[in-house]
Amino acid sequence: MENKTVTVIGAGLAGSEAAYQLAMAGFQVNLYEMRPLIQTGAHTTDYFAELICSNSLGSNLPDRAAGVLKNELRRLGSLLMKIADEFELPAGGALAVDRDLFSGKVTRILSTHPNIKIFREEVKEIPSNPTIIASGPLTSSTLSQSISQITNSCNLFFYDAIAPIINYESINLDIAFRASRYQKDEEESGDYINCPFSKEEYDRFVFELTNAQRIELKNFESQINQGVKAGSDQYFEGCLPIEVLANRGEKSLAFGPLRPVGIWNPHGGKRPYAVLQLRQDNIAGTLYNMVGFQTNLKFSEQKRVFQMIPGLENATFARYGQMHRNTFIASPNLLLPTLQFNQRNDLFFAGQITGVEGYVGNIATGLLAGINMSRYLSGHKLLELPKQTMLGALVHYITHASMRDFQPMKANFGILPLINAKGKRERAKLYAQEAKKSLEIYLSEIFPELSL
């Protein structure tokens, strides 16, 4: 057993996974989490690994980018993926989970692990012992200042938005209906509740949405430094508020989050002009998430405008949509592909603060930082996964991207080395096969102790 102690800052998705990997490797872990004493503004519980917005971890299909990353995590022994699989909810090809059961179990396992000591306090200074910083997009401001001191002011801010959650009992199922996209069997009940728009209803909705009142951003939130572009109007392009997207053109929602393809309305039997999908958010099935409806409208305006959606005229909201600060470092200037800070070998970064986007990407960098810290402390060569794997490609992107264009990056096939194939589907299959093969070769040839 090793007797070295590692500090992990933040028991979110990345920090929880990192702490577990280190503890299982025999290291003592001091895991610091500032909630519930200090809140982030977006988290609402004192659980570790809280899912702050959607309860979906993205596609679970083996030939989708997010699915490939999930399979890599399962292969590498991720605790959080195992628990996510355990509390899976019906969501078509996606992996949605019961958020409370998921985070509750992560909290229990870490809190009772003999090698993990929990400190419910804010870390203000970066410790001098081996440390993983996994404090997330809502890193406390004092710690942000310390990070900015050691990284020569490399923080920047932009926006993410969270979608509203609706109470199931308030949805009008005489208008809304259950179906999955491209559902083959009409008898099946379907995983989503769908709210169908006619063209007239859609036009009226888009007009009210684009003219509704928004919440003003606070000064500290609109600050961007380092000259890094943060997308349209300082929003992250992959997570645009629905009202900003609607402003781009009258059909942008009908071709985006409200696209009706593959959905037939059993009430009218024809294809709607646009469709809002509602995804189950808890095992009891009492809460539904408005898919793609992250927003910065005032709460009263969300109620007024979203109740115009067919089937939601009496909707009650368990949670309104909100927008939040998102902090990340200039990883291409600061991190090695092992996730080590390039000026201090025993300091690692993991999670959203590295510029990786999405729940699963954050779990993945936590896993890698945890494994690499344990290998570093035991004097072994650190993991640098092949670029053909999704995790290897993500880490390569954040550590090699040009700073001019650097933006948080989700798992996607565009960051893998190009494979030529006839169609998109065929190419996706080849990417998935190549990723799996590369990971197995890497594990068996370079790190046989990690191979099956």
Ligand X SMILES: Cc1cc2nc3c(=O)[nH]c(=O)nc-3n(C[C@H](O)[C@H](O)[C@H](O)COP(=O)(O)OP(=O)(O)OC[C@H]3O[C@@H](n4cnc5c(N)ncnc54)[C@H](O)[C@@H]3O)c2cc1C
Among the listed residues 70, 279, 324, 396, the single contact to ligand X using CB under 6 A: 324
> With respect to ligand X, which residue has the nearer C-beta, 146 or 307?
146
Tell whether residue 165 is a contact of ligand X (CB under 6 A): no
E runs forming strands in 121-253: 131-133, 156-162, 165-167, 177-179, 192-197
Q: Which of 310, 351, 386, 392 binds ligand X (CB under 6 A)?
A: 351
- 11 vs 263, which CB is nearer to ligand X? 11
Write the DSSP string, 204-219: HHHHHHHHS-BPPPPG
- Give yes or no for residue 123 binding ligand X (CB under 6 A): yes
SS3 61: coil
- Under the binding rule (CB under 6 A), the answer on residue 339 touching ligand X is no
Decide: is 374 part of the binding site for ligand X (CB under 6 A): no
Element (H, E) at 142: helix 141-150
Q: Among 129-137, 182-190, 225-233, 372-380, which window interacts with ligand X (CB under 6 A)?
A: 129-137
Does residue 348 belong to the site contacting ligand X (CB under 6 A)? no
Largest CA distance in the chain: 68
Residue 34 in contact with ligand X, rule: CB under 6 A? yes
- 72: contact with ligand X by CB under 6 A: no
Q: Is 241 in the site for ligand X (CB under 6 A)?
A: no
- Verify binding: residue 352, ligand X, rule CB under 6 A: yes
Number of residues located near ligand X, criterion CB under 6 A: 37
Q: Is there binding between residue 358 and ligand X (CB under 6 A)?
A: yes
Nearest distance in Å: CB 265, ligand X: 27
327 binds ligand X (CB under 6 A): no
Spatial CA neighbour of 267 closest among 305, 310, 308, 307: 310
Asked, as a colleague might, if the bond just before 36 is cis with ω within 30 of 0, I would say yes
Q: Does the footprint of ligand X cover residue 209 (CB under 6 A)?
A: no
Contact assessment for residue 357 and residue 236, using Cβ atoms and an 8 Å cutoff = yes
Write 199-203 long-range contacts (CB < 8 A, 24+): 199/273, 201/273, 201/308, 201/310, 202/253, 202/254, 202/258, 202/273, 202/274, 203/250
Q: Which of 63, 72, 98, 160 binds ligand X (CB under 6 A)?
A: 160
**Strand arrangement of the beta sheet that strand 5-9 belongs to:** 116-119, 28-32, 5-9, 131-133, 344-349, 340-341
Does residue 371 belong to the site contacting ligand X (CB under 6 A)?
no
Residue number, nearest CB to ligand X: 12
Return the H-helix or E-strand segment holding 80: helix 79-86
Query: Which one of residues 6, 13, 206, 312 is an interface residue with ligand X (CB under 6 A)?
Result: 13
**From 20, 27, 32, 413, residue interacting with ligand X (rule: CB under 6 A):** 32
* Torsion angles phi and psi, residue 257, rounded to 5: -65, -20
Closest CA to 348 of 317, 305, 377: 377
What sections of 26-77 are H helices per DSSP? 65-75
Residue 104 engages ligand X in binding (rule: CB under 6 A): no
Nearer to ligand X, 94 or 385 (CB): 94
Stretch that binds ligand X, among 4-12, 297-305, 370-378, 443-451 (CB under 6 A): 4-12
Question: From the list 157, 328, 348, 359, which residue makes contact with ligand X (rule: CB under 6 A)?
Answer: 359
CB of residue 431 vs ligand X: minimum separation in angstroms?
Answer: 20
Contacts 24+ apart (CB under 8 A), 197-202: 197/258, 197/272, 197/273, 197/274, 197/275, 197/276, 197/309, 197/310, 198/272, 198/273, 198/310, 199/273, 201/273, 201/308, 201/310, 202/253, 202/254, 202/258, 202/273, 202/274
The reply to whether 116 sits near ligand X by the rule CB under 6 A is no
CB of 247 vs ligand X, minimal distance in Å: 21
Rounded to a whole number of angstroms, the minimum distance from the CB of residue 291 to ligand X is 10
Binding site for ligand X (CB under 6 A): 9-15, 32-35, 40, 42-43, 52-54, 122-123, 134-140, 143, 160, 162, 324, 326, 351-353, 358-359, 362
